[in-house]
């Protein structure tokens, strides 16, 4: 590709963010996802930062306005009604204002806020956010790690952001779906069913929604009885990284007490994270904490260990060898699930496809751990996928076919913030 090709894709990416911009928040893509999603917004802010730093800050600020009193930041904020989405605010029954879902998502926001601050130097805006971020992280430490194991649990696969990952198949199999009743999915009206979670998965998802709603989304009641209580390797890695970024940001802003709290939580997570190591698989895996059973396979979440921070050499070496093996089995890195496994599905959501946002995190972590050539391979493959197929939600690692929603905000954002070498040279001025 030449510079003009890059610049044209830069303009397309900016146009997608503009198309999906609702003023102070951005929908992932119109139709399929018509509200504000938690980690989508945080990641989208990186894209805005390449051409409009004020708009980038507003994306995060709007998300944090929906924070619960407990500290939890919900995974969906229903700023407006849209009957075309299921489950909507009525199904969640959180009685929150603004209406929200009752669960959270991977806490990437602190990492993004640190990047926005380092880019803009805006101390006032950063300082106004760090207390809310600290409160969210503390909520994870208390509500989702009540035994202080250094591992936070998810109570629903949607909290992981990787909804139908095979890691959840067995823990979900214990969820009682007898009281779910009938409902009408909306996602398969927008996207082919062979790209979406199965009906069986959805029954279990809705049973977990009902479980939380029946307990008024009370953290203690949920921790005591949740039928799904899993330490996701991905969310634990992301939170561990976010704690260190929050601590660094707080120190820079002179808030030493907050920095100390974040460092303490990070150290506990760092220690707990080693409990996810599998000698059998030579990688970090998720853990069903009800049954003390580790997942029997690796996923893209396993490589987020590099994103979390330093990986011990005796773990890093076999992990890099395995990652190279994965890459050798596909055309484009990095599949979201082990391509050699019988459950691998190259086009069904999180059971195989490549996601630009996960690639960015893994590449960032690889570079931090001095695997620069491999990080660049991941970036180049992401560039090829987007330039070949367009700004899709995800991509087939075998054919580069785009899957899920088109004109997808976080894919556009990753192009602007990471993939493109020209995104800040297009001549578009900040508003």
Every domain of the chain and the residues it spans: 3-419
Query: How would DSSP label each residue in 142-172?
Result: HHS-TT--S---BSSHHHHT-TT-GGGHHHH
Specify the fold of 3-419: Glycosyltransferase (1.50.10)
Measured torsion, CA atoms of residues 394, 395, 401, 403, in degrees rounded to the nearest 10: -30
**Whether pLDDT at 429 is above 70:** no
d(CA 208, CA 196): 18
pTM listed for this prediction: 0.96
Q: What is the pLDDT of residues 152-211, one digit of tens each?
A: 999 999 999 999 999 999 999 999 999 888 877 677 677 787 878 889 999 999 999 999
First to last CA, the chain: 29
Q: What is the mean pLDDT of the chain?
A: 95
> Nearest 5°: CA angle at 395, between 408 and 195?
85
Single out the catalytic residue among 21, 134, 393, 406: 393
Single out the catalytic residue among 10, 21, 163, 167: 163
Active-site residue, 163 included: yes
For residue 151, CA distances in Å to 14, 134, 275, 310 come to 38, 17, 8, 17
Q: What is the pLDDT of residues 373-384, one digit of tens each?
A: 999 999 999 999
Q: What is the pLDDT of residue 284?
A: 98
How many CA within 13 A on the CB side of residue 269?
Answer: 32
Q: What is the pLDDT of residue 426?
A: 54
- Interhelix angle 233-252/109-120, rounded to 10 degrees, is 30
Q: What is the pLDDT of residues 118-146, one digit of tens each?
A: 999 999 999 999 999 999 999 999 999 99
């Amino acid at each position: 590709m030449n510079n003009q090709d890059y610049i044209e894709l830069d303009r397309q990416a900016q146009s997608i963010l503009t198309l999906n911009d609702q003023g102070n928040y951005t929908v992932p893509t119109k139709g399929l996802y018509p509200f504000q999603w938690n980690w989508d917004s945080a990641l989208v802010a990186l894209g805005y930062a390449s051409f409009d730093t004020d708009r980038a800050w507003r994306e995060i600020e709007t998300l944090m306005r929906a924070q619960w009193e407990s500290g939890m930041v919900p995974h969906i904020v229903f700023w407006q009604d849209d009957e075309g989405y299921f489950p909507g605010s009525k199904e969640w029954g959180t009685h929150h204002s603004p209406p929200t879902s009752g669960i959270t998502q991977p806490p990437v926001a602190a990492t993004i806020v640190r990047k926005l601050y380092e880019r803009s130097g805006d101390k006032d805006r950063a300082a106004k956010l760090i207390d809310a971020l600290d409160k969210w992280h503390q909520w994870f430490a208390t509500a989702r790690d009540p035994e202080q194991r250094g591992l936070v649990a998810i109570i629903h696969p949607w909290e992981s952001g990787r909804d139908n990952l095979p890691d959840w198949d067995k823990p979900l199999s214990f969820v009682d779906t007898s009281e779910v009743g009938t409902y009408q999915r909306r996602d398969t009206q927008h996207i082919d069913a062979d790209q979406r979670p199965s009906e069986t998965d959805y029954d279990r998802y809705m049973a977990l929604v009902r479980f939380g709603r029946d307990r008024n989304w009370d953290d203690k009641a949920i921790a005591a009885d949740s039928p799904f209580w899993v330490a996701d390797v991905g969310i634990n890695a992301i939170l561990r990284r976010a704690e260190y970024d929050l601590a660094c940001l707080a120190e820079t802003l002179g808030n030493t007490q907050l920095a100390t709290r974040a460092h303490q939580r990070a150290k506990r997570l760092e220690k707990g994270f080693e409990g996810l190591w599998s000698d059998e698989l030579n990688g970090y895996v998720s853990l069903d904490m009800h049954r003390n059973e580790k997942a029997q396979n690796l996923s893209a979440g396993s490589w987020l260990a590099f994103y979390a921070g330093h990986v011990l050499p005796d773990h890093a070496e076999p992990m890099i060898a395995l990652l190279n093996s994965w890459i050798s089995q596909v055309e484009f890195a990095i599949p979201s699930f082990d391509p050699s496994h019988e459950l691998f599905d190259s086009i069904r959501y999180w059971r195989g496809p490549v996601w630009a946002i996960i690639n960015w995190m893994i590449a960032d972590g690889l570079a931090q751990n001095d695997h620069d050539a491999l990080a660049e391979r991941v970036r180049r493959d992401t560039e090829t996928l987007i330039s070949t197929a367009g700004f899709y939600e995800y991509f087939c690692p075998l054919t580069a076919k785009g899957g899920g929603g088109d004109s997808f905000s976080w894919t556009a954002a990753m192009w602007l913030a990471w993939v493109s070498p020209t995104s800040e040279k297009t001549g578009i001025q900040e508003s």
